[in-house]
Amino acid sequence: MTPALSIVNLRKVYRRGTVAVDGLSMTVNPGDFFGFLGPNGAGKSTTLHCVTGIATVTSGTIEVFGFDAVKQYRDARRLIGLSPQEFNVDIFATPRQIVDWMGGYFGLGAAERKRRVDELMERFDLVEHQKKPFRELSGGLKRRVILARALVHQPKLLILDEPTAGVDVELRLDLWRYLAELNRDGTTILLTSHYLEEVERLCRTIAIVSRGKIVRNGPKEEFLAGGLESAYLAATGARPEHIAGAAA
């Protein structure tokens, strides 16, 4: 079975010499809901940027459904949808334009684009906001636009980099339901989040990254025995009693 995502010995060194990812390897199986956890600066976003082409790869290989993400980047990127942590859009454009343009970049024809944009505006409750400039939207609405944009071309691998950061409880629950539905329909999802509850509820496989390396990887059940939070803190090198002590 060809993995949805295979990363082997990925290394990313920035121009100033910072080693962001240091020999990271992991595999995401097709249809999985994969939680990718780690502290800030551990290399999660950099890894995702290397997968999607936002960052160059220093060494190592990345394959998306068997396509090399560097040598066969067009085939690989066609299969990926990315919802990044930062709002990387033209803030003067409208939600409708943003989603429509992304559909265009992925080669969707005018009729199909219109159908998909209408569907997504409806699905994410953006209809009444679809012609307002992005910069005038609330944080939650902006996050919905970014998600709609990631989904316009119906990717086989959906990468979500902290998709619920800064959104209210209602939207978060709605989003969880929607992601679970997408995953049931066959979309492979790779999720990074600092909300362990979110990961525990949605993911089937979890990998923890620390200092640019995978330090623990396996089915969710393996992490739940002693609690996901303890497993996470132990894997990243922080000890719960120290954190509790500091808080006291």
Partner 1 sequence: MIVNWIGLWTIIRREISRLMRVPVQAFVAPWVSALLFIFIFGSVVGPRIASIGGHRYLEFVLPGILMLNIINAAFLQASTQVYFQRFMRSVEEVLVAPLSYAEMIAGTLVTVVFRTVGTALGILVIAALFGVTHVDAIGEFLFWVVIVSAIFGLIGIVIGLWAKSFEQLTVLNIFFITPLSFVGGVFNTVDMLPPGVRWLAYGNPFFYFINGLRHSMIGFGEASEPLGAVISLVLLAALAVAVWRLFSKGYGLRE
Q: Which residues bind partner 1 (CB under 8 A)?
A: 14, 46, 49, 52-56, 73-75, 77-78, 80, 82, 84, 86, 88-93, 97, 101-102, 104-109, 149
Instruction: Give the span between the Cα atoms of 105 and 59, in whole angstroms.
Output: 28
H helix intervals, 53-189:
73-78, 95-105, 110-123, 139-151, 169-184
Beta bridge partners of 5: 28, 64
153, 103 Cβ separation under 8 angstroms:
yes
Beta carbon nearer to partner 1, 8 or 54? 54
CB of 93 to partner 1, least distance (A): 8
Closest by alpha carbon to 209, among 44, 5, 49, 15? 44
Instruction: Give the span between the Cα atoms of 62 and 69, in whole angstroms.
Output: 5
CB of 38 to partner 1, least distance (A): 18
Beta carbon nearer to partner 1, 14 or 166? 14
Closest by alpha carbon to 90, among 129, 140, 145? 145
CB of 46 to partner 1, least distance (A): 7
CB of 113 to partner 1, least distance (A): 9
248, 229 Cβ separation under 8 angstroms:
no
Beta carbon nearer to partner 1, 112 or 174? 112
CB of 12 to partner 1, least distance (A): 8
Q: Is 185 left (phi over 0), alpha (psi -120 to 50) or beta?
A: alpha
Phi, psi of 161 (to 5 degrees): -100, 100
Closest by alpha carbon to 52, among 29, 24, 82, 75? 82
Beta carbon nearer to partner 1, 67 or 232? 67
CB of 161 to partner 1, least distance (A): 12
Beta carbon nearer to partner 1, 146 or 228? 146
Beta carbon nearer to partner 1, 111 or 247? 111
